[in-house]
């Protein structure tokens, strides 16, 4: 029994690091939101009032992870997560040094485009 429990704990930890599918991420965000709401002792009804998001939208979000981005922003603001939502995509991410060089080169560009090779 100890080995089975230990394996379950390891799998649970690994699961947190392998969220690579949109549905899993949506559900994780919804679960985290619900936890923060409950920690602050705010009912769904009160959260709907505070945020201006319909109660049915809030319930669907917490149960299925489905929500419009504008509604998610309103909920985040109502819970005091304005900075966190504003910081989404704020910092550049890179996997290689070449990507980092490209990010630095394009830091002031307004759009992405392919450069054509001139022979």
**45-78, pLDDT tens digit by residue?**
999 999 999 999 999 999 999 999 999 999 999 9
Residue 11 confidence class, pLDDT cut points 50, 70, 90: low
CA dihedral defined by 27, 32, 33, 34, rounded to 10 degrees?
A: 90
pLDDT score, position 37: 97
pLDDT surpassing 80 at residue 33: yes
CATH number listed for the domain at residues 2-105: 1.10.260.40
Q: Are 81 and 73 a contacting pair, CB within 8 Å?
A: no
CA dihedral defined by 57, 19, 90, 92, rounded to 10 degrees?
A: -160
């Amino acid at each position: 029994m100890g080995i089975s429990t230990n394996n379950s704990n390891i799998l649970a930890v690994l699961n947190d690091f392998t969220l690579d599918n949109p549905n899993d991420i949506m559900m994780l965000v919804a679960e985290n939101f619900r936890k923060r709401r409950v920690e602050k002792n705010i009912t769904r009804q009160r959260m709907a009032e505070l945020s201006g998001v319909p109660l049915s939208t809030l319930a669907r979000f917490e149960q299925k992870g489905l929500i419009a981005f504008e509604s998610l922003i309103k909920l985040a603001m109502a819970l005091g997560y304005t900075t966190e939502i504003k910081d989404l995509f704020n910092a550049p991410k890179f996997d290689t040094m070449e990507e980092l060089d490209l990010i630095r080169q394009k830091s002031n560009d307004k759009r992405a485009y392919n450069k054509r090779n001139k022979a």
